[in-house]
Structure 1
Amino acid sequence: MNEDRLAHAVVIGGSMAGILTARVLSDRFDQVTVIERDRLPDGPDVRKGVPQARHVHSFWAGGMEVVERLLPGVESDLLTAGAVPMNLPTDIAWLTPANRWTQPLPATQRLVSATRALLEWTVRSHVEKVANISFRTEQEVTALRLGPTGDVSGLTLRGRHTGTTVDLSADLVVDASGRGSKLPEWLRALGFATPEESTVDSFLGYATRLFEIPAGFSARWKSVYIQNAPPTQPRGGIMFPIEGNRWVLTLIGGGGDYPPTDEQGFRDFAASLRSPLLADVLGVAQPVSPIWGYRRTANRWRHYEKLAMPGRLLVIGDSLCAFNPAYGQGMTVAAKEADVLAGILAGCRSQADLSRALRGAQRAIAARAKGPWMLATGSDLRYPTTVGASQTWMDRVVNKYLDRVLAAVSDDPIVSAAFLRVLNLIDEPQALFSPRLMPRVLRSRSRNRPAAVSNGFVVDKQLTTTMAE
C-alpha cells in the first residue's frame, strides 16, 4: 500500500445511501467498490433488498439538491422517464390533523414524484458512469478484517450462489447496508462492543396499490394527503402521481390499525378516512397492480457515534438511523449524510489526511439525523400504543405547538413556507420556533375550522374533482 495516497474505499450496500456515498468517495479515492448482496436490475424494477419500494416515496427538495450537485442531470432524466413535477403546496390537497384543507398558496418547494425503483435506478445509472466506481453484486460481507494498527483494513466476501470467499483490502469501509446491517455481529466477532439502540415503534402499517389515471380526469391537485391525526384518528392515506400515467395510493394505519390487503377491506379502509376524497378516486380509477402490505416501520437508531469502533469504519443511512418510512425521510437524510461526509473528506489527499478527517466523523454524520429523528418519533409518540419511549412533558408541549403549526399551514403563506422548508429537510425543526414565526403560529387557532365535504368531494371549488363526459 502507498501510504501517500487514498487507494481504495468499500461501501457495503448498493441502495440510495450506498450509491450516493460511493459518489462522494470517488472524489477522494482512486477506486471505490460497492458491495451488494442482490443482483441489481437492468432497469427501474423493484428488487428484493428494498421491501418497501412499492409504496409511496418522497425524495424531498433537500435531498434532490444534494443529488443534483453530485450527479447533474438526475432530475432531468427522471422527468424524461415520466416522473411528475409537483409544486408545494400548490399541487397537493392536504387535509391536516387540524381538519383543514391546505389552500393552493404560491409554491415554495418543488419535488419530483416517481416510484422508488425509478428514483434509485436513475441515480445508480449516473453513479455507474463514474470511472473509478465499480459494483460487486450478489456478494455478502461475512466479516471485517483488522490491520496491525487495529484499524479496519478490509473485509471478507462470500458469493451468494457460489459460496466462494475472498478477502478485499480497503483504506475505508462504509456500512450502508440498511436496516438489516450485520455490523453489530462483525464488531462482536472482533471483540468490540455493539452499539446501544433506541427504538420507537408506533405499529404503523401500509397497504398500497397502483391505479391508472382515468382519461379526462381533472382536478386542481396532483396529489392527495389525508394525514393521520393520532390519537383519535390513526388512519390516513396518500396518493402521488408517478411515471406511466399512474397514481400510487398508500393507505396508512397507526397504533396497530393496519389497512387490509384484500379488495373490499382496502376500499372500506379508504372510505373510513376523515375525507371520502381517496375513496371516491377508487370509484373511478382502474387498479393496475395487486395490493401490497408493509409493517416494518419502527424508528431505530444504532448509536455508533457513542461507540469505540475500529478506525477506518463509518456507518451511514438506515444502518445508522432508520426512520418510520411514513414520513419519507430516509433517502433524503441519506443524501444529506453523504453530503456531510463529503465535507469531512474535503482536502484529503493522503493516509495521514484521512486519519485526521475521520476523527469525530461518525458523530458529525449522526448529528444530521437528529432533526428528522425528533420529527418522526415525536409524531409516533402521539399513538398511545407506541413502545420504546413515552411522551415527556416537553414532547407534549412541542406537539401542542406543532398542532398550531399544522393549523396555520393551510392558509398562512409564511407558516406554510417555513414548514415546507423543514419538511423538505432544508431547515432544522428549530426554525419553526423562530421569533418571527411563533406569533403567527400562536394566532392560528381562530382559523381552525373544519372543511366541509359533500357528495364525496370537498365543497371548496379549488378541490372539486371532475371527469370529462
Structure 2
Amino acid sequence: MNVDRLGHAVVIGGSMAGILTARALSERFEQVTVVERDQLPDGPDVRKGVPQARHLHAFWAGGMEVVERLLPGVGSDLLAAGAVDLSLPTDMAWLTPANRWTQAFPPTQRIVSATRALLEWTVRSHVEKVTNIGFYTDHEVTSLRLGPTGDVSGLTLRGRHSGTTADLPADLVVDASGRGSKLPEWLGELGFAAPEESTVDSFLGYATRLFEIPAGFSARWKAVYIQNAPPVEPRGGIMFPIEGNRWVLTLIGGGGDYPPTDEQGFRDFAASLRSPLLADILRVAQPVSPIWGYRRTANRWRHYEKLTMPGRLLAVGDSLCAFNPAYGQGLTVAAKEVEVLAGILAGCRSQADLPRALRGAQRAIAARAKGPWMLATGSDLRYPTTVGASQSRMDKLVNKYLDRVLAAVSDDAAVSAAFLRVLNMIDEPQALFSPRLMPRVLRPRRRRPSTVSNGFIVDEQSPAFSS
C-alpha cells in the first residue's frame, strides 16, 4: 500500500501529553514541531510550566504500555536512573475506606515509581532522538490561523523574551498545553463558540515533602496508601519510593480540609490519619525538601467533542479533560488518548485523506476520558461540599457498589486483580460489574479483629516497619 507523509504537524505544549503526541504524529507526518513556552531543562529538573511537578505522580501500567510501544526502552532507562519498580498489590500497604489493610497477594500489575521530572525528562530524551521532531521553546502561541477552506492552517507565535511574532504553517494542530490552555480564547477570536464545560470540585488539596529512606529500613511494603474515606474521613496520605533513595510523602485533605505546609501542622495532620503508620515514618525519616502545597484540583472537561470546530485542530490531555490530580489519572489518560490518535492516523494514506480521517477524531479521543472521569468525579462527589454536580440516584448506587469492591480487594485475590486492572487503565470500569466478579464483591465479608487508633476502628493487621 502506498502511504504518503501528511505534511507538518504542530503540537502546542512540551509536557508529557505533548511529547507523546509528537512521537505518535512522527510516524505519519513529515515534520512535527513542538511549541513550548518554557525553556526545557537539560536534565531531570522541575520546570515552572508544571506547577505540581514536585508532588507524587503515578504513571499506571496501561500508560506505560503505550509509552513502551511508542518509545521502547523508557522503562529500563527509568530504572537505570534510580526509579523504583513496584509490584501491586504486593509492595503496597493500602488501608482502604473499609478500614482494611490489603493483603500482599501475588503481584498482578507493575509500575515504575519516579519523580515527574525524571519521568518527563526520560521520555523527552527518547523523543528528541526522533529525527523529524523539532522543539520551538521560549515561544507562546497567540492565535490560530485559518486557511481558505476554513480549516486551521497554522498559528502565530511570540517570543517570550524578544516579543517578536512569527507565523508557523501547519497541516494539523494539536493543543496539549494543559489546564491553562487558551484554546477557547483562540476559537472565540475566530468566531467559534466556547466549548461547554463540566467542572466538579471537591476542594481537595495536598501537601508533599521528600524524605531520605533511613539506613536499615525494613518492611514488607515499599509504598503506603492511607486512603481518604469521605464523607466520614476526608483525610488521607500516600508515600512512594523514588530515585535517590527517597520517599515522596503526600498528605491529602478533601472538602476544604487542606493539609498544612508548616512543620508542626504537617506532622499533626499525619498523626490524625486512620493509621499512625505515616506519622511513625515522619518521626524517623530525615526530610530533604521543603513542604509544598497544591490546591488546584478541580476536575474540568472542555467538551470539544460536542463543538463545531475548524478542521485540522484537536485537543488532548488536560487541555481537553483535566482530572483531580490526587487520583493519578492524567498522565495515563493522555497516553491512552495519544494511542487513539495514532490509530486514527494509521489508516490515513495521503494528505487528501486527512480531513476525512480527522472527522470524529475528537469524539474518539474524548471517549478515552469517560471511564476515568466517572471514577474521579464519583469519588469527589462523596464530599458534601463538592460543587459543580451532585450525586444522582445512579451515582449513589454505583458508589455503594464500589464501596463493596474496595472492601473486597483486601481479602479476595480475584477482586484485587480486577480492580488493579481498572486502576491501571488496562480495563474499563465496567469490568468491575462483570457477572463473574459481582458475586465475589457482594458476598458477606468476614469481620477481622480490629482496634481503635486516633478514634477510628482499624484492622489489626496494620503493617509496621523497623529501622
Same fold (TM over 0.5): yes
SS at match of 1:218: coil
Asked if 1:239 is matched to 2:251, the reply is no
- Cα distance, 1:411 vs structure 2: 1.2
Aligned to 1:155: 155
Please give the alpha-carbon distance, in whole angstroms, between the structure 2 residues aligned to 1:101 and 1:72.
36
Q: Is the 8 A contact 1:301 1:322 kept in 2?
A: yes
CA displacement 1:203-224 (0-9 Å, x = unmatched): 0001000000000010000000
Please give the alpha-carbon distance, in whole angstroms, between the structure 2 residues aligned to 1:444 and 1:77.
45
Aligned to 1:303: 303
Please give the alpha-carbon distance, in whole angstroms, between the structure 1 residues aligned to 2:368 and 2:121.
25
Please give the alpha-carbon distance, in whole angstroms, between the structure 2 residues aligned to 1:452 and 1:444.
23
Q: What amino acid sits opposite 2:182 in the alignment?
A: K
CA displacement 1:273-305 (0-9 Å, x = unmatched): 000000000000000000000000000000000
Q: Is the 8 A contact 1:409 1:416 kept in 2?
A: yes
Aligned to 1:42: 42
Q: What amino acid sits opposite 2:21 in the alignment?
A: T
Please give the alpha-carbon distance, in whole angstroms, between the structure 2 residues aligned to 1:27 and 1:451.
57
Aligned to 2:428: 428
- Structure 1 length as normaliser, TM-score? 0.97
Question: How is 1:17-36 mapped onto 2 (pairs within 5 angstroms)?
Answer: 17-36=17-36
Please give the alpha-carbon distance, in whole angstroms, between the structure 2 residues aligned to 1:278 and 1:40.
35
Aligned to 2:347: 347
Q: What amino acid sits opposite 1:234 in the alignment?
A: P
Question: How is 1:141-180 mapped onto 2 (pairs within 5 angstroms)?
Answer: 141-180=141-180
CA displacement 1:71-115 (0-9 Å, x = unmatched): 000000000000000000000000000000001001000000000
CA displacement 1:2-55 (0-9 Å, x = unmatched): xx7411000000000000000000000000000000110110011111111111
Q: Is the 8 A contact 1:11 1:34 kept in 2?
A: yes
Question: How is 1:386-401 mapped onto 2 (pairs within 5 angstroms)?
Answer: 386-401=386-401
Is the alpha carbon distance of 1:214 and 1:307 closer, same or farther for their aligned partners in structure 2, counting shifts above 3 Å? same
- Cα distance, 1:445 vs structure 2: 3.6
Please give the alpha-carbon distance, in whole angstroms, between the structure 2 residues aligned to 1:317 and 1:289.
29
Q: Is the 8 A contact 1:154 1:173 kept in 2?
A: yes
Please give the alpha-carbon distance, in whole angstroms, between the structure 2 residues aligned to 1:93 and 1:449.
18
Question: How is 1:322-401 mapped onto 2 (pairs within 5 angstroms)?
Answer: 322-401=322-401
Is the alpha carbon distance of 1:407 and 1:163 closer, same or farther for their aligned partners in structure 2, counting shifts above 3 Å? same
Q: What amino acid sits opposite 2:204 in the alignment?
A: L
Is the alpha carbon distance of 1:444 and 1:128 closer, same or farther for their aligned partners in structure 2, counting shifts above 3 Å? farther
Aligned to 1:407: 407
CA displacement 1:123-169 (0-9 Å, x = unmatched): 00000000000000010000000000000000000000000000000
- Cα distance, 1:347 vs structure 2: 2.7
Please give the alpha-carbon distance, in whole angstroms, between the structure 1 residues aligned to 2:427 and 2:220.
28
Please give the alpha-carbon distance, in whole angstroms, between the structure 2 residues aligned to 1:448 and 1:322.
39
CA displacement 1:352-373 (0-9 Å, x = unmatched): 2211110100000000000000
- Cα distance, 1:351 vs structure 2: 1.4
SS at match of 1:126: helix
Is the alpha carbon distance of 1:306 and 1:448 closer, same or farther for their aligned partners in structure 2, counting shifts above 3 Å? farther
Please give the alpha-carbon distance, in whole angstroms, between the structure 2 residues aligned to 1:460 and 1:212.
28
SS at match of 1:99: coil
Q: What amino acid sits opposite 1:52 in the alignment?
A: Q
Q: Is the 8 A contact 2:8 2:32 kept in 1?
A: yes
Q: What amino acid sits opposite 1:41 in the alignment?
A: P
Please give the alpha-carbon distance, in whole angstroms, between the structure 2 residues aligned to 1:390 and 1:448.
34
Is the alpha carbon distance of 1:68 and 1:452 closer, same or farther for their aligned partners in structure 2, counting shifts above 3 Å? farther
Is the alpha carbon distance of 1:158 and 1:32 closer, same or farther for their aligned partners in structure 2, counting shifts above 3 Å? same
Q: Is the 8 A contact 2:449 2:459 kept in 1?
A: no
CA displacement 1:355-402 (0-9 Å, x = unmatched): 111010000000000000000000000000000000001000000000
SS at match of 2:446: helix
Q: What amino acid sits opposite 1:85 in the alignment?
A: D
Consecutive unaligned residues of structure 2, counting only runs of 5 or more, are: none
Aligned to 2:134: 134
Q: Is the 8 A contact 1:45 1:118 kept in 2?
A: yes
Is the alpha carbon distance of 1:385 and 1:461 closer, same or farther for their aligned partners in structure 2, counting shifts above 3 Å? closer
Q: Is the 8 A contact 1:408 1:447 kept in 2?
A: no
Q: What amino acid sits opposite 2:334 in the alignment?
A: A
SS at match of 2:248: strand
- Cα distance, 1:348 vs structure 2: 1.9
Consecutive unaligned residues of structure 1, counting only runs of 5 or more, are: none
Is the alpha carbon distance of 1:415 and 1:452 closer, same or farther for their aligned partners in structure 2, counting shifts above 3 Å? farther
Please give the alpha-carbon distance, in whole angstroms, between the structure 2 residues aligned to 1:95 and 1:309.
46
Q: Is the 8 A contact 1:99 1:449 kept in 2?
A: no
Please give the alpha-carbon distance, in whole angstroms, between the structure 2 residues aligned to 1:444 and 1:331.
36
Q: What amino acid sits opposite 1:59 in the alignment?
A: F
- Cα distance, 1:427 vs structure 2: 0.4
Please give the alpha-carbon distance, in whole angstroms, between the structure 1 residues aligned to 2:285 and 2:241.
13
Question: How is 1:41-120 mapped onto 2 (pairs within 5 angstroms)?
Answer: 41-120=41-120
Please give the alpha-carbon distance, in whole angstroms, between the structure 1 residues aligned to 2:444 and 2:345.
45
Please give the alpha-carbon distance, in whole angstroms, between the structure 2 residues aligned to 1:64 and 1:164.
39
Q: Is the 8 A contact 1:89 1:109 kept in 2?
A: yes
- Cα distance, 1:350 vs structure 2: 1.3
Q: Is the 8 A contact 1:240 1:248 kept in 2?
A: yes
Q: What amino acid sits opposite 1:222 in the alignment?
A: K
Please give the alpha-carbon distance, in whole angstroms, between the structure 2 residues aligned to 1:56 and 1:41.
20
- Structure 2 length as normaliser, TM-score? 0.97
Q: Is the 8 A contact 1:98 1:448 kept in 2?
A: no
Q: Is the 8 A contact 2:153 2:169 kept in 1?
A: yes
Aligned to 1:446: 446
Aligned to 1:418: 418
Q: What amino acid sits opposite 1:141 in the alignment?
A: V
Please give the alpha-carbon distance, in whole angstroms, between the structure 1 residues aligned to 2:162 and 2:448.
63
Please give the alpha-carbon distance, in whole angstroms, between the structure 2 residues aligned to 1:444 and 1:244.
44
Is the alpha carbon distance of 1:260 and 1:462 closer, same or farther for their aligned partners in structure 2, counting shifts above 3 Å? closer
SS at match of 1:66: helix
- Cα distance, 1:449 vs structure 2: 6.0
